[in-house]
Amino acid sequence: MSQEGLALAVERMRDRGMGPEAVTVFEHYYQQLEEGAHGTIPEDTIEPLADLQELGEVRVSDDDARAALRQTAVIKLNGGLGTSMGMSGAKSALEVKDGLTFLDIIAKQVLALREEWGVDLPLLLMNSFRTSEQSLEILAKYPTLPVDGLPLDFIQSAEPKLLADSLRPATWPQDPELEWCPPGHGDVYVSLLTSGILETLLEKGIRYAFISNSDNLGATCDPEVAAWMVERGLPYVAEVCTRTKSDRKGGHLAVRKADGRLILRDTAMVAEGEEQYFGDIKRHNTFHANNLWVDLSVLRDRMAERDGVLGLPIIVNRKTVDPSDPSSPEVIQLESAMGAAIEVFEGSEALLVPRTRFRPVKTTNDLLVVRSDYFVLDDSSHLVAVGDGPEPFVDLDPAYRLVGGFEKRFPHGVPSMIECTSLRVIGDPVFGRNVRCIGDVLVDGLARVEENAVLEGPRQGSAGDTRTVDQHLKAILSSLDPSPIESVPLTESLGLVVARDVRSRVNLPAFDNSSMDGYAVQASSLEGADESSVRLRIVGEVAAGVDPTFSVGPGEAARIMTGAPIPPGADAVIAVEQTDGSATGSVECRASVSTGRYVRPRGEDVSEGSVIVSAGDVVGPRTIGLLAASGHASVEVHRRPNVVIMSTGTELVPPGEPLGPGQIHDSNSSMLWAAAVAAGASAEIRAAVGDTDAELLAALDDCVANADVIITSGGVSMGAYDVVKSALADKGVEFVKVAMQPGKPQGFGYLSGPGDLRVPIFALPGNPVSSFVSFEVFVRPALRRLMRLAPERRPVDVATLTSGLRSPEGRRQYGRAIVSRNSDGALTCQPLAGQGSHFVADLSRANAIFVVPEAVTDLVAGEKVDVILLDS
């Protein structure tokens, strides 16, 4: 153990006034950290929850509910600063609904419960040292809120942030308060004890506590749960909700096989390589809502038995000392989760509650939905959904991630969401007043959304048969989630998007070294050498890769090579050209040098712990060089999707094999494979399948578990043997006609795989040109969306036509062309003669696609036309 680091940390905690229990808990976790504890829970040690009691099945009398509520206190965890949303004060001070903050709404909820049930229900905030003053100012507006003999808050413990490299307490003179952190919400039990609140509550006859996060407005004190807990004599109850794909990253409860106790497994507790089990929402079909009910008398007994250390699993939280400054030193915060205490209380139970009790605001995506008209506050200040459909899914551009950027882009309030199923925003448009979103909405490339605008996309489950190109592309892009994050070797990261900031593990250079062949000296030894040469005694030689074991004093020099470490005592280098080049004895120096001359200082290029690559950067050769030099053999990126390509038709024969009557070589698979790889994905070709539904479905079942995207070509029209359409029309794939030429018939949807896997599938037409154009217009942007690569679509240029062309009315034409530059440097476009969808030779010759809008039918030579360059 780093006794010095621990001793310094403990001394600082005592100087700050932390109680002995808080210090003991910190020492407990520090020792676990030193011993390399990770707190993982392997899948083979647990069983899923089963046979849960549902809140809707609980039946209690009003008298029992009132009696239970008289013995209950509401405790809100209120130490969060909302730094992930760009806030510096209490997160609960954020206006969240109808001009009210979280704390305003919580106060109104408690006061409404008091009035309804005729009880003095206490409210206590567990504040951090940075949230108390601001929070109490807000609650001061409610003079009847305090209960006699009880404060409105108690302060949770504080502990030093630890430098990641040494485990010594961090120092940050710019803001010394940033040297401290709260020890996670598992500290609520220790803080209740050390603050004296635990004993005070019990003395006042308050035996039970309902504990929840202040940013979860659905977490209200339900008298039925309190009465059920009292009736059953339960020491601890954890609320859980039914899990959806959106909750795959949330912690869940399970049964430990060794002793049958309920335990909490959070993301940080998943054993390496077992992420698929953690994310399997069919196996672990509920998630932990972080709403807890605790018998305070049992808690007091457990704390006494364990000397104040409940022994909750450790959480190692890595951050920077200043969360708003990614270049500040990396630190470790030792934390625990309050929900992990479920294993400490024998006889604990889980209660399945409706989703309405889980309405957290963790991001500005959540904030938009809660502020919108999809929710209202009822007479008891409960947050109630009034929309008919499920809660809208929102994915805002990173420009909206922080509250300041969010407010700037919604200056007149958020859009109406009551008819919206999803909203994705790409870019950073400013939204005007009274914007209304309907269906699945994608906002892409706009600088401003005008006031009173109606943004309408296809509704979920709609079966429209004809679409514009833009409508079909929006329907695809709005449904895609980014590829998962994974750590890959540097040699496999080229072209991928970095998912998290990367910090250097070393200083570059790692040590002071020479930038020249010459002699390491003290600069003062060469004073006056410009007028009269100076001789210095040679005391040694330093080559690159050698650690000098001697020092350089006044009147001395060490022969040194480029890149070699500067020996102790030396502070400059004189170039060999300015000396007589002696190797032994003494060296004649014919010039003076300044301090630092030809010395590359340690960390001059990169300082240890500084951000060298930011999230969102695309990995290139130079990026890989920097990562390698900074000590990284791998990098976290958005995964390269694996694309499985499959053509259909009994007439298809693999390239190189002999053709029989009526057969052709399968060119689409090879072409689409190359296009997918060129877009940045990995790809594999599966053998072409025949013209029966059974053959296609069997082939898809065989590959869906290993595919991130599936592309089929052929079989999407109206023919008798169009197998893709007939086999998949009732399998979650929508087939439409798109107003374009070529590529009118299109299919897109999702296939189900193991573990709730949803794999996007593109069903493209079979003619080679149609298939290629469809890939460029729809699949390529989707692959780049998955990888978070920008721009998602190829840029559009303008060229001058060398000959006229005709285009069908009402359909956007994508034609093949050769684009070149004339003598003035302007682009010219020569349409190719063969525009049929089967002309692969002309497709090969083309280096561009010209685009003619739906409303244009004729263009003559000399007119401008939009072109997409394929080889840029």
Active site residue ranges: 362
Q: What is the dihedral of CA 393, 397, 403, 406, to 10 degrees?
A: -90
Q: How many CB atoms lie under 10 A from the CB of residue 545?
A: 9
Residues whose CB falls within 8 Å of the CB of residue 511, separated by 6 or more in sequence, listed in order: 565, 566, 602
SS3 254: strand
Q: Where are the alpha helices (DSSP H) in 755-832?
A: 768-774, 780-787
Angle at 31 (CA atoms; ends 27, 33), nearest 5 degrees:
115
Cα separations (Å) of 515 from 192, 522, 536, 574? 60, 16, 20, 10
Relative to beta strand 72-78, strand 123-127 is parallel
Residues whose CB falls within 8 Å of the CB of residue 460, separated by 6 or more in sequence, listed in order: 389, 421, 422, 439, 440
Q: In this structure, which amino acid lies at residue 655?
A: P
CA–chain centroid gap for 764, Å, is: 32
DSSP string of 697-720? HHHHHHHGGG-SEEEEES--SSST
Q: Do residues 520 and 514 make contact, with C-beta atoms less than 8 angstroms apart?
A: yes
Cα separations (Å) of 173 from 8, 178, 295, 476? 17, 9, 43, 50
Which residue reads 């096989």 in tokens? 257
Q: In this structure, which amino acid lies at residue 69?
A: L
Relative to beta strand 864-869, strand 796-801 is antiparallel
User: Using CB atoms within 10 A of its CB, is residue 653 exposed (0-12), middle (13-18) or buried (19+)?
Assistant: middle
Backbone angles phi, psi at 224, to 5 degrees: -65, -40
Per DSSP, 731 falls in state T
DSSP string of 333-376? EEE--GGGGGGTSTT-EEEE--GGG--B--SHHHHHHHHSTTEE
Q: Give the tokens for residue 286.
A: 């509920």
Residues whose CB falls within 8 Å of the CB of residue 541, separated by 6 or more in sequence, listed in order: 558, 559, 560, 583
Per DSSP, 561 falls in state -
Per DSSP, 50 falls in state -
- Catalogue the E-assigned strands of 581-662: 586-589, 599-600, 611-613, 634-638, 642-647, 652-653
Tell me if the bond preceding 742 is cis, omega within 30° of 0: yes
Q: What is the dihedral of CA 595, 599, 600, 604, to 10 degrees?
A: 0
Q: What is the total residue count of the chain?
A: 872
- Integer Cα distance of 86 and 132 in angstroms: 19
Return the biggest CA–CA distance within the chain.
Answer: 105
State the DSSP H helix or E strand holding residue 394, giving kind and residue range, or none if neither: strand 393-395
Q: Give the tokens for residue 291.
A: 């709403």
Q: Do residues 169 and 9 make contact, with C-beta atoms less than 8 angstroms apart?
A: yes
- Catalogue the E-assigned strands of 262-305: 262-265, 286-295
Order of all β-strands in the sheet with 72-78: 53-54, 349-352, 236-242, 286-295, 208-213, 72-78, 123-127, 153-155
Q: In this structure, which amino acid lies at residue 401?
A: R
